[in-house]
Amino acid sequence: MKPRTLARLELMAAAATAKIREEILRHNTVLGQIEYQKRVLADYRGRLQESWRHGGVVAAGHAMRAEVFVAASDEAGGKIGVEAARTQVMLDEAMQALARNQQKRRGLTEARRKAQVVEEREIERRLELMTSWRRPKGETEDES
């Protein structure tokens, strides 16, 4: 391939790398949000358990809401876990795609470098052919 074509392919690979890096950033952000949600649930559960341990008087309405919250938080915890696993898989896939893309870019860079060397040699060869010494017409080797 010509060096210009390889340079264009390198640019396309660089754009793909940037896109993959953005995807990785998004997945890391989602994982951070998931961890925050887990901490909020755990903190609230901890406060709820602490209030029950002290043996204080709790209104029936509060107890019923607490029971509903515990059930909802258990369900939310399960959903959060599933989302975390799914996001982690997607992050791993993006990391693998980034590694493949970087390998491809290294290959394109090397191919472009080799193509430039070949092109430069061809230019030098043509220049030598064009500037090589030519005998004037009528002159033979014996006359030199």
Which strand (E) or helix (H) includes residue 142? Answer: none
What are the pLDDT digits (tens) for 86-98?
Answer: 999 999 999 999 9
Dist CA 55 CA 61 (whole Å) = 16
Q: Helix, strand, or coil here: 87? A: helix
Angle at 60 between CA 56 and CA 62, to 5 degrees: 75
Report the amino acid identity of residue 90: M
Return the CATH fold of 3-126.
Helix Hairpins (1.10.287)
Dist CA 64 CA 62 (whole Å) = 5
Domain segments of the chain as ranges: 3-126
What are the pLDDT digits (tens) for 12-68?
Answer: 999 999 999 999 999 999 999 999 988 888 888 787 777 767 666 666 666 677 777
What are the pLDDT digits (tens) for 52-94?
Answer: 676 666 666 666 777 777 788 888 888 888 999 999 999 999 9
